[in-house]
Amino acid sequence: MANIKSQMKRNITNEKSRQANSAFKSSLKSAVKSVESAIAKQDKEAALVALSFAFKKLDKAVAKGIEHKNYASRQKSRLAQKVNAL
């Protein structure tokens, strides 16, 4: 445990951002899964709507520094290929 006041403050900040990042990652995974479930149901309309939302979430994750840009690019490409195959 830290004895330095500034480090104790920093630990609190780090914990808050860790929880926020964890919540955002969870919502990102849910968005990706909703696209995949729409694909599994062969529902192209729902898949396109979910794909748009997932793209938004992936871009936001990159902008916030939560995910790497290559990860987002790979996920977007993978999902778009599956939706276009419907």
As a whole number, mean pLDDT of residues 8-23 equals 97
Are the CB atoms for 5 and 46 separated by under 8 Å?
A: no
- Rounded CA gap, 8 and 45, in Å? 50
> Strand, helix or coil at 53?
helix
- Rounded CA gap, 7 and 38, in Å? 46
As a whole number, mean pLDDT of residues 6-13 equals 96
pLDDT above 90 for 1: no
Extract the tokens encoding 66: 């939560």
Q: What is the pLDDT of residues 23-81, one digit of tens each?
A: 999 999 999 999 999 999 999 999 999 999 999 999 999 999 999 999 999 999 999 99
Which pLDDT value is given to residue 32? Answer: 97
pLDDT above 90 for 86: no
Closest CA to 82 of 43, 41, 36, 45: 36
Find the domain containing 56 and state its range: 5-84
For the chain, the domain total comes to: 1
Which pLDDT value is given to residue 2? Answer: 85
CATH at 68: 1.20.58.110
